[in-house]
Amino acid sequence: MMGKQTKALKQHGALVLAFVTWALLGLAAGGNFYDECDATWEPQNCWAYDDGNRLSLALVSNSSGSMIRSKRQFVYGTVSTMIQLVPGDSAGTVTTYYTSSLGDNQDEIDFEFLGNETGQPYTIHTNVYVNGVGNKEMQFKPWFDPTADYHNYTISWTPCMIVWYIDGTPIRVFRNYQASHGVVFPTSQPMHVYSSIWAAEDWATQGGRVKTDWSKAPFVANYHGINLDVCECYDGDCVTGCTAKFSDGDRYCRLSDDQVGQMRLVQDKNRIYNYCVDPKQWTNGQVPVECSLLQF
């Protein structure tokens, strides 16, 4: 198996070396991923090409995947990338695109793509963590083949709300009801944006029933372009300014009527899990407060 993995990765050896060298030295090479990201986990399993405009991340074993992280930290903004997910039998693999602060009590906004057996659809998993606590999952089945071509995945984080988009269509909103109803919301911890691929065969595919076929490794996810329209922030002193920058009510605090209609259609037809209707995710048997409030 390792011989097969090594052969596949050697085809990109020079590009892997170039990306690792630039990433570790913190230098810019004139392309989006070179400019914006560092390789922070198993850098030998990722490679950038097309002048840094494209990137591939590989999972080669159950303990060796890959991760990149943005050089910039920010409080509020919009981050997006184009991803082509692992084709074929991707059971047990997880490809991610998310934002997260540093430390144990992290704030985090997730896109996770859970692989499946050949011919079965991926699961698109979304979640929000505040101070290390999540349990706000929603999951969707894609209405397209995410392995056949690139699709745009966007996270918009403002003081008013978080919105997850796929190809410009909003699929979920999580509004800021912290002041009015005590619902925790990420407001103060600067985040990085991350992309990774890793092994989770104990839970990722049909609750762990379907395991990874490691004879098909390496599993490779491809990325095209990364766009960060964010308010850079590296300590608490800059949070106030970032909040002011992203507080325009019309631009950052509401979806259009058309967008609301698009989101409702996706949720009606493609949402397969909602923590709001799962008592196992409730605290003291109580429906989460935000579930009864407006979420668009």
Q: How do residues 218-264 score in pLDDT, each as one tens digit?
A: 999 999 999 999 999 998 899 999 999 998 777 889 999 999 999 99
Question: What band does 203 get if pLDDT is binned at 50, 70 and 90?
Answer: confident
Write down the catalytic residue from 36, 108, 201, 290: 108
Write down the catalytic residue from 112, 117, 201, 290: 112
Mean pLDDT, the chain, whole residue set: 89
Catalytic residue flag (residue 201)? no
Q: What is the dihedral of CA 38, 44, 47, 51, to 10 degrees?
A: 60
- Global pTM reads 0.89
pLDDT digits (tens, 9 = 90+) for 143-184: 999 999 999 999 999 999 999 999 999 999 999 999 999 999
Regarding predicted confidence, which is higher, 17 or 209?
A: 209
Question: What band does 283 get if pLDDT is binned at 50, 70 and 90?
Answer: confident
Question: What band does 215 get if pLDDT is binned at 50, 70 and 90?
Answer: very high
Catalytic residue flag (residue 112)? yes
The pLDDT assigned to 205 comes to: 86
% the chain with pLDDT above 90: 79
